[in-house]
Structure 1
Amino acid sequence: MHGQVSQDTPVGVSAALIWDVYRGLELGRLVDKIASDVIGRVEVLEGNGGVGTVVKLTFPPAPGSAESGYMKERFTKVDEENRVKETELVEGGYKALGFDVVRIRLEIIEKDSESCVVRSCIEYEGDDKLVDVVPHVSVKPLETMAEIVAKHLTQNKSTPA
């Protein structure tokens, strides 16, 4: 079984500005700074933001729970020309639910000089027994992250951080 879930999030900042954040490690730094309570804490385990970089995202505890989930992902593609970043989960997150492969693709699509779309996509592969888990695969956290980052960039137009 394989499939994908995607969402386009329109944002009111230029594609170049948001790509400066999304392309490497700045996204994790910014999430830590402005959205760790919503998205989670990001820790760089290896690499400098290019292909091969491994990061760990520790999610905030769910309401009424003391436990935090996590996921580790490896950057597999950073396409500067097309503004596309792809990662593959290596541990935790949807992989912990039993999926064999989980890829996250983030694409920045320019609309005009002051706006763009952040396309977030999760591709998954796994055993047919996961059919009941598939409805829980959601890009909502990626959509929320795009909205929070765009709002921050709009309020602080001069720099991404």
Structure 2
Amino acid sequence: MGVITYDMEIPSSIPPAKMFKAFVLDGDTLIPKILPQAIKNVEILEGDGGAGTIKHITFGEGSAYKSVKQRVDAIDKENFTYSYTVIEGDVLMGTFESISYHIKIVASPDGGSICKNRSIYNTKADAQVTEEEIKSGKEKASGMFKALEAYLLANPDA
């Protein structure tokens, strides 16, 4: 098995606590509302939302994938960190054993925040991953984060 790691940072004008609440704590209901073409719904299969929780995500009509199962690995509401692993689904494309994401939202000097995301792709045997596949995933994640930011800016009481 090979391991491929990518880091990405996405700046936002939204303060860390508000962005973490929207993106992580309320994300399962908020993201399908804001981006139904990307994510149709999120269902908790087991757990209470904390570490060990298994979620089933059904993607929207605009997605190339149908669904995915992910496991919450860790969540720290005080330090705005969240880790989860994709454990099943067509997004693994038969190429990956799993994909883990480690998210940390930190304050930026301008009063906003920076979403720091580390993605760890665990490939099967000697499977190869193209730069384009990784770039596509990064663009989708960034687009989701920016759509959430736009929603929060347009709905300051949300």
Q: TM-score of the superposition, structure 2-length normalised?
A: 0.84
Distance 2:141 2:95 in 1: 21
Distance 1:109 1:102 in 2: 23
Distance 1:30 1:122 in 2: 22
Q: Which amino acid aligns with 1:87?
A: Y
- CA RMSD in angstroms comes to 2.3
User: Contact 2:106/2:113 (CA < 8 Å) preserved in 1?
Assistant: yes
1:152 maps to: 151
Q: Are residue 79 (structure 1) and residue 80 (structure 2) matched? A: no
Distance 2:65 2:122 in 1: 25
Deviations 1:40-83 (A, max 9, x none): 432222222211222122223458xxx85211101001022321
Shift of 1:10: 0.9
Q: TM-score of the superposition, structure 1-length normalised?
A: 0.83
SS of residue paired to 2:105: strand
Shift of 1:112: 4.0
User: Contact 1:39/1:145 (CA < 8 Å) preserved in 2?
Assistant: no
5+ unaligned residues in a row in structure 2: which ranges?
A: none
Name which of 88, 91, 98 aligns with 1:91. Answer: 88
Shift of 1:132: 4.0
1:100 maps to: 97
User: Contact 1:51/1:76 (CA < 8 Å) preserved in 2?
Assistant: yes
Shift of 1:152: 0.8
Distance 1:155 1:96 in 2: 36
5+ unaligned residues in a row in structure 1: which ranges?
A: none
Equivalences for residues 11-160 of structure 1 within 5 A: 11-24=12-25, 26-61=26-61, 68-112=65-109, 114-132=111-129, 135-137=132-134, 138-159=137-158
Shift of 1:104: 1.4
SS of residue paired to 2:152: helix
